[in-house]
Amino acid sequence: MNEVQIRETVLHVLGAIAPEADLSQLNPEARLRDQLDIDSMDFLNFVIGLHDELHVDIPEKDYGQLATLAGCVQYLIAAMGRPGSRRAE
Amino acid sequence: MSDFLMPKLGADMTAGTLVAWRKRVGDPIRRGDIVAEVDTDKGIIDIESFSDGILEALLVEPGTSVPVGTPLARIQAAGETAATVRPASQSPAPGSPTSPASQPAPVTGPSPALISQAELARLRISPSARQRARELGVDPRELTGTGRGGAITREDVERAAAARIVPASQASSSQTPTPAVAPPVPAGVPAAANAPPPPAERTLRMRQAIAAAMARANREIPHYYLSTTIDLHAALQWLTRQNEDRPVTGRLLYGVLLLKAAALALREVPELNAFWQDDRPVRQESIHLGVAISLRGGGLIAPALHNADRKSLDELMHDLRDLVARVRTGGIRSSELADPTITVTSLGEQGVEGVYGVIYPPQVALVGWGRVVERPWCVAGQVVPRPLITATLAGDHRATDGHRGSVYLAAVERLLQQPEQL
């Protein structure tokens, strides 16, 4: 999966959590929490959504790296390339 | 025989609009089964039955708005024989106000929604076809039988179901699919009658419902407010260790620890778990936490986490996730709106350190949680950084005094120091 596909997947999962948001206006460098009014339950559902779509189990200590869209994409590229990551493919 | 009534889902509700029947005449009903969907100021709510039996007759058609207390259907208790069908227009509407707008709409003439048990018995239809008709939501009276002597067969039912066109507005996935339950709307009901109001109107109606309840609370309830600062070090450390070993789908949020502590502390100060009714406090045996959940479009509702004191943290987490999801996508049950015995609100995630709430009548208390902040704290004579949270209690001074309220907050604090026992 390449960067564009990962970004699309992240936006898809976010869209399910904040269906009213216009994700095309998202600033990739700004915090998702501030832009989308995401609470801790939404964030947990976001992490679960990424897990379901990409088969990556993100430990809680890494949550800080998912604060922005750009951060999410970078983190997921690295996580999916790691040996032992729980990719289904 | 019992009447299935338009329920009162909160102090502010006076009327509701029947959106759809989820059961058909002749269906067995168990207490807690979802029988109908009703549109209220809080959105479309799944209405549960309070009794067991057989659904004998439907008295109100989808699209009709009726006052709280109006009989919507009759349920025949197990073992009873079918009662004589009495016209719905003669049904009393207990407790209904007298303004013309709130009179139940008279149900006149035959209607696809009004099929009595006796009428079904006259139809020539095999038991298996009748069962299939129920499953598929087909009205057997509209079918022409092709079986022996004109009897309606299973195939007739299935053909009719296949030919039926489901309006797009009903084909949406807004409700959890439940096998063996009839489709939400009988064939032939115009979709327009069931179309939800536009979002702006819904938001306004919710605003007005909140306005009514909160104005009443401020008018009638002499609030007192207490607050305390709680060290969450032990609770958060324990939680971090727990979550390290858990898959992402099994992780706990710290909010669940707060909910459990708030529920358990009510056992020690049960007078806070009460309703103010008829000029006296009435203690509630079960502890149903009303969890304030903000809607993304604005407004909020506070449905119940039932028996929160008796549930494990994992059960509470599961139930909370489920509740939040259903608040946002639909499928809140009537008991969840009607049952809360106390409200818990957590505005900390929006960044404030403390919240002093307005009690939701007839409840007599509200617990508020602020943001977790890291601050210097004295532990055994040393100043150390600690994660702190402000817990508040708004109490109804008619029902309790500040002393008992402070005992309650002290219990919450003590419980949170031993998270492994929550």
Domain locations in chain A as residue ranges = 3-81
Residues B337 and B379 in one domain: yes
Residues 267-306 of B with CB under 8 A from A: 294, 296-297
**Is the CB of residue B8 less than 8 Å from the CB of residue B68?**
yes
| Domain presence at residue B257 | yes
pLDDT cut 90: percent of chain A above it: 57
Q: Does B142 lie in the same domain as B21?
A: yes
What is the SS3 assignment for B390? strand
Per the prediction, chain A carries an average pLDDT of: 87
CA distance B8 to A53: 41
Nearest to B103 by CA among B6, B10, B36, B185: B6
Residue range of the domain that includes B227: 201-421
Burial class (CB in 10 A: 0-12, 13-18, 19+), B274: buried
Residues B178-202: what's their mean pLDDT? Answer: 50
Tens-place pLDDT, residues B181-191: 333 434 334 44
Does the beta-carbon distance from A51 to B249 stay under 8 Å?
A: yes
Among B146, B163, B194, identify where a domain stops: B194
pLDDT of residue B176: 35
Q: In this structure, are residues B183 and B170 in contact, taking their beta carbons and an 8 Å threshold?
A: yes
Residue B72 in contact with residue B56, Cβ under 8 Å? no
Neighbours of B114 (CB within 10 A): 18
State the pLDDT at residue B330. 79
Could you tell me which of B262, B231, B248 has the C-alpha nearest to residue B372?
A: B231
Instruction: Please list the ranges in chain A whose pLDDT falls under 50.
Output: 87-89
pLDDT above 70: percentage of residues in chain B: 74
Taking residues B21-48, what's their average pLDDT? 90
Residue B169 CA from chain centroid, whole number: 23
Q: Are residues B221 and B359 in the same domain?
A: yes
Distance from CA of A27 to the nearest CA of B (A): 20
The pLDDT of residue B100 is above 50:
no
Supply the CATH number for residue B316's domain. 3.30.559.10
Q: Which residue has the higher pLDDT, B39 or B307?
A: B307
B293 touches B303 (CB < 8 A): yes
Domain count for chain B, please give it.
2
The per-residue pLDDT for B166 is 34
Residues B211 and B353 in one domain: yes
pLDDT band at B150 (very low <50, low <70, confident <90, very high): low
Interface contact B349-A39, CB threshold 8 A: yes
Environment class of B154 (CB within 10 Å of its CB; exposed 0-12, middle 13-18, buried 19+): middle
Q: How far is CA B52 from CA B108, B109, B118, in A?
A: 28, 28, 19
Q: Which of B20, B417, B7, B385 is closest to B189 using CA atoms? A: B20
| pLDDT band at residue B106 under the 50/70/90 scheme | very low
B229 and B170 within one domain: no
Residue B70 lies in a domain: yes
What's the CATH number where B57 sits?
2.40.50.100
Q: B364 and B264: one domain? A: yes
Distance from C-alpha of B247 to C-alpha of A52, rounded to nearest angstrom: 12
Q: Which of residues 232-251 of B touch A (CB under 8 A)?
A: 240, 243-244, 247-249, 251
A41-51 residue pLDDT tens: 999 999 999 99
Looking at the structure, tell me whether residues B155 and B226 fall in a common domain.
no
pLDDT digits (tens, 9 = 90+) for B401-417: 999 999 999 999 999 99
Judge whether B16 and B6 are in contact, CB under 8 Å.
Answer: yes
Min distance B244 CA to chain A CA atoms (Å): 7
Tens digit of each residue's pLDDT (9 = 90 or more) over B368-400: 999 999 999 999 999 999 999 999 999 999 999
B81 CB neighbour count, 10 Å cutoff: 7
Four-way CATH pick for A3-81: 1.10.1200.10, 1.10.10.10, 3.40.50.300, 3.40.50.1480: 1.10.1200.10
Q: What is the pLDDT of residue B407?
A: 98
pLDDT tens per residue, range B221-271: 999 999 999 999 999 999 999 999 899 999 999 999 999 999 999 999 999
Interface test with B, best of A14, A32, A44 (most B CBs within 10 A): A44
Closest Cβ–Cβ partner in A40, A57, A58 for B253: A40
- Domain assignment present for residue B182? The answer is no
Q: State yes or no: pLDDT of B276 exceeds 60.
A: yes
- Co-location of B164 and B234 in the same domain: no
Query: Taking CB atoms and an 8 Å limit, are A41 and B321 in contact across chains?
Result: yes
**pLDDT tier for residue B82 given thresholds of 50, 70 and 90:** low
Question: Is there a single domain that holds both residue B149 and residue B207?
Answer: no
Six-digit token pair at A41?
Answer: 């339950």
Q: Are B324 and B289 in the same domain? A: yes
Report the C-alpha dihedral over residues B120, B122, B126, B128, rounded to 10 degrees. Answer: 10
User: Cβ B296–A19 below 8 Å, yes or no?
Assistant: yes
Dist CA B163 CA B142 (whole Å): 13
Q: What is the token pair recorded at B17?
A: 């609009």
- Range ranked top by mean pLDDT from A31-40, B154-163, B272-281, B330-339: B272-281
Same domain, B279 and B216: yes
What per-residue confidence (pLDDT) applies to B125? 72
Chain A hits for B325, Cβ within 8 Å: 45
- What is the C-alpha to C-alpha distance for residues B263 and A30, in angstroms, rounded to an integer? 37
Looking at the fold, whether B224 and B169 belong to one and the same domain comes out as no
The residue type at B349 = E
Interatomic CA distance for residues B75 and B169, integer angstroms:
29
CB B248 within 8 A of CB B258: no
Tell me which of B194, B224, B243 is where a domain ends. B194
pLDDT attached to residue B169: 34
CB atoms within 10 A of CB B201: 10
Specify the pLDDT at position B416: 98
B10-23 per-position pLDDT tens digit: 777 888 999 899 99
- Here the tokens at position B64 are 């009709």
Instruction: For chain B, give the longest Cα–Cα distance.
Output: 93
